[in-house]
Amino acid sequence: MVNFKLLSIVSSSVFVASAVGQRVLCYSGFQYNCTRFIDQFCDHAVANTYNPYDAMSRCFNTGQGSKCDLTVWLQNPTGQNQIPSNANCKAALRTAMQSCVSGGTGQFSGAPFQFGIDPNGGQCIGNIGNGNRLENVTEVVVAPVA
């Protein structure tokens, strides 16, 4: 297995990942590890079809006074009835959560879907995500180790 390093453009921190060509954007703010919700979310996300710029979000209560919003977006302007890859969904969200203490988004190069994981304070209302923060994002680039 080949290891890859995530190089942060904003800071000198180095993260280790096993994904090729994945771009991660990190959020700032509330911190909680939402990893335990990834499999359930991705299994649900791939049961749907998406048209250009469609998004689907699910909110999960943590049981500790906080929540996790997970989202999938189809970024392809021409694709109709597309289904995200379950493996890409799980890998992108795990990499984002491992690389970003406040969550973030992940997308593989050339893949039409972007995935987001966003911990927040409070509780879910109707199991719907409360949107996505884009303030103070840090871009992390996955590059192969020479």
Task: Give the tens place of pLDDT for each residue, 3-13.
Answer: 333 322 233 23
Across residues 54-60, what is the average pLDDT? 93
At 67-84, the pLDDT tens digits run 999 999 999 888 889 999
Dihedral over alpha carbons 70, 61, 101, 26 (to 10 degrees) = 30
Q: Are 67 and 124 in contact (CB under 8 A)?
A: yes
Q: What is the pLDDT of residue 79?
A: 80
- What's the predicted TM-score (pTM) here? 0.74
pLDDT band at 125 (very low <50, low <70, confident <90, very high): confident
Tokens of 61: 């209560």
Q: For 93-97, 99-103, 113-117, 121-125, which range has the lowest pLDDT when averaged over its residues?
A: 121-125
Residue 48 and residue 68: Cα distance in Å, rounded? 20
Residue 68 DSSP class: E
Give, in order, the Cα–Cα distances in Å from 105 to each of 8, 32, 65, 119, 121: 14, 15, 23, 12, 18
Q: What is the pLDDT of residue 108?
A: 92
